[in-house]
């Protein structure tokens, strides 16, 4: 499963982004990271903005509660979600994981 770390007022987890995909979707788990496919290209922050918007929709939180903590220029990112416990975050992500 994804490694989710509780922080004061939220939780942090790692994401592997696959840009220029045919659709936005959670593609599964890669190692201890969530694998997310995005239609946006990795140009001028477009994929980062798409990731924040997509995760906000999936997790049912406002976009302002999603923050990319590190990895802005790479495919591996650390994302912080404010307002959700690690347990709540895991439960909401699990609902969207593809069936094995």
- Per-10-residue mean pLDDT of the chain, 100 residues long, equals 93 98 96 97 96 98 98 97 96 88
Q: What is the DSSP code string of 3-63?
A: -EEEETTEEEEEEEEE-S-SS-EEEEEETTEEEEE-SS-SSTTHHHHHHHHHHHHHHTS-G
Provide the pLDDT for residue 99.
77
Against a cut of 0.75, is the pTM above it?
Answer: yes
Q: Could you give the domains of the chain?
A: 4-94 (3.30.1200.10)
Query: Can you tell me the distance from the alpha carbon of 87 to that of 3, in angstroms, rounded to the nearest whole number?
Result: 11
The structure tokens 């307002």 sit at 83
Q: Following CA atoms 68, 31, 42, 70 in sequence, which dihedral angle do they give, to the nearest 10 degrees?
A: 30
Provide the pLDDT for residue 96.
93
């Amino acid at each position: 499963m994804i490694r989710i770390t509780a922080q004061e007022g939220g939780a942090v987890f790692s994401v592997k982004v696959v840009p220029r995909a045919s659709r936005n979707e959670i593609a599964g788990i890669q190692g201890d990271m969530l694998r997310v496919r995005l239609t946006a290209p990795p140009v001028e922050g477009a994929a980062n903005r798409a990731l924040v918007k997509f995760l906000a929709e999936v997790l049912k939180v406002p976009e302002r509660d999603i923050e990319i903590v590190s990895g802005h220029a790479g495919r591996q990112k650390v994302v912080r979600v404010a307002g959700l416990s690690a347990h709540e975050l895991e439960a909401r992500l699990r609902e969207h994981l593809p069936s094995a």
